[in-house]
Amino acid sequence: MSLAAAVILVVLSWLWVIGEDRARGVVLISAQSAEHVGQFIEDLLGIGSPSPPAYLRPDRWAAMAGLAAETLGMSVLAAGLAGAGALALGVFAARTVAFGPLRPSRSPLWPMAFFVTRGAFIVSRALPELLWALLLLFLFTPGTLPGALALGLHNLGVVGKLGAEVVEDLNLRPIQALQRSGARPGQLLAYGIVPSMLPQLLTYLLYRWEVIIRSTIVVGFVGAGGLGQEFRLRMSFFHYTDVTLILLVYLLLVFGVDLVSAGLRRLAR
């Protein structure tokens, strides 16, 4: 059933894509498009241009450092905001807290908080970073902050859901021991639940950071600054050797974050 639906979807999608491609007269596989790609690669490398390509000029590399730092800062801020939000809200989204053995009181507020936080996680996760960025520009002036918030909001849903699952899978014994010895809900949270969910949440957050750094360049497209904004600028001025330089810096940043995140994850274990 699912397989048949998937096959039909694939066929219909490709029919639409190919039809639209024909209508626009691009036609993917042709001698002409091969020539265009060749030309584009030559432009990126700066072949046939009289001035030296930007990616070989030390002064251009130095100029990139500030933008790279800004992009890195934006990604760290986004990950931090998502992590803080998930830590604060994830507990309420756990079934064991809302309905199960960890429920602190009979108050109907706990199930209500469950549905509100779960709903918020679904919405925040469903909307991609760029749509969040677009909506946040109602409230903020374009810059690093709305970019980081947009990245953070999308990731809040992703990390928050995981946080809730971590709480649901917690070993209940030590927490119930605290409960029985008369700990109040706040103390239960501070000494029982949060410390036990922290290592897993941090590990996952570090994984997400690797995803976030890749998307950080993209929120720059809507004016959030950093490498992304520079990329958009250089693309629209056809400064293709600068584009190559930005891509190289971006790759360094992405691989660097992968390495650092792997190292930090070892500390979290």
Partner 1 sequence: MTGLRSSRSILTILLLAAFGWSLTSVDWREGVLNVQGTPALLEFLAAAVRPVLTPAFLGRAVAALWQTVAYAVAGMTVALLIGAVLGTLASGALAHRRVARFGEVVGARATLGLLRAIHELVWAWLFIAALGLSPITGVLALGVAYGGILGLIFAQHLADAPTAPLRALQAAGARPWQAFLYGRLPLVLPDLVSYALYRFECALRAAAVFSFVGLGGLGAELQLSLRELNYGEVWTLLFLLIALIVAVDWWSGEVRRRMTT
Are 219 and 133 a contacting pair, CB within 8 Å? Answer: yes
For partner 1, give the closer residue by CB, 103 or 265: 265
**What x/- string results for residues 4 through 23 when contact with partner 1 is judged by CB under 8 A?**
-----xx-xxx-xxx-xx--
For partner 1, give the closer residue by CB, 28 or 31: 28
42 lines the binding site for partner 1 (CB under 8 A):
no
For partner 1, give the closer residue by CB, 71 or 179: 71
**What x/- string results for residues 162 through 201 when contact with partner 1 is judged by CB under 8 A?**
-------------------------------------x--
> Of 263, 265, 252, whose CA–CA distance to 71 is shortest?
252
76 lines the binding site for partner 1 (CB under 8 A):
yes
The string of DSSP codes covering 227-260 is HHHHHHHHHHTT-HHHHHHHHHHHHHHHHHHHHH
47 lines the binding site for partner 1 (CB under 8 A):
no
C-alpha distances out from residue 238 to 138, 242, 257, Å: 31, 9, 29
268 lines the binding site for partner 1 (CB under 8 A):
yes
Query: Near partner 1 by CB under 8 A, which window of 54-62, 101-109, 145-153, 181-189?
Result: 145-153
Report the C-alpha gap between 185 and 239 in whole angstroms.
Answer: 59
C-alpha distances out from residue 194 to 89, 177, 230, Å: 11, 16, 40
Residues 245-264 close enough to bind partner 1 by CB under 8 A: 247, 250-251, 254-255, 264
113 lines the binding site for partner 1 (CB under 8 A):
no
